[in-house]
Amino acid sequence: MSNRSTHLPSDAPRSVKDLRLGESGTICCLEDPEMALKLLEMGCIPGTQVRLNSRAPLGCPITLVLGDDDYTLSLRVSEAATILLKA
C-alpha cells in the first residue's frame, strides 16, 4: 500500500478495472487505504471472488457481483482500479 508510480510494467497486477465483461477474479488487496475502508465495509474483502457484471452505457460506472452472495455493487472505474486481483 505504498506510493507506487502510476506507470507500471506490463506484468503489474491486474485490477478489477481490467476484467472483461463476465470475467471473474479473486481480490488480492486494496490499493487506496482510505477507500479500502469503504470497500471492505461493502464486502470487498481480500480473497473474495468478483465478477464484472455490467458496464454503464458510457463505460463508467460498472457493476460487480461479489462472492457467491448474489450481491451486486456498483462503483466507478477509478474506484475499481484500486481493487487489485490475484495473479
Binding site for other proteins (CB under 8 A): 33-43, 45-46, 53-54, 56-61, 63, 67-76, 79
Give 13 or 72: the residue with its C-beta nearer to other proteins.
72
What is the torsion angle, in degrees rounded to the nearest 10, for the CA atoms of residue 65, residue 71, residue 76 and residue 79? -80
Q: Whole-number minimum distance, CB 72 to other proteins, in Å? A: 4
Q: How far is the CB of 14 from other proteins (least distance, A)?
A: 20
Tell the residue number behind the cell numbers 474483502, with chain if given. Answer: 45
- Residue 30 in grid coordinates: 486494496
Nearer to other proteins, 9 or 19 (CB): 19
Nearer to other proteins, 18 or 32 (CB): 32
**Angstrom distances, CA of residue 52 to CA of 8, 34, 74:** 23, 23, 10
Residue 60 φ then ψ, to 5°: -150, 140
Q: How far is the CB of 8 from other proteins (least distance, A)?
A: 23
Q: Choose between 13 and 71: whose C-beta lies nearer to other proteins.
A: 71
Task: Reply yes or no: is the peptide bond before residue 61 cis, omega within 30 of 0.
Answer: yes
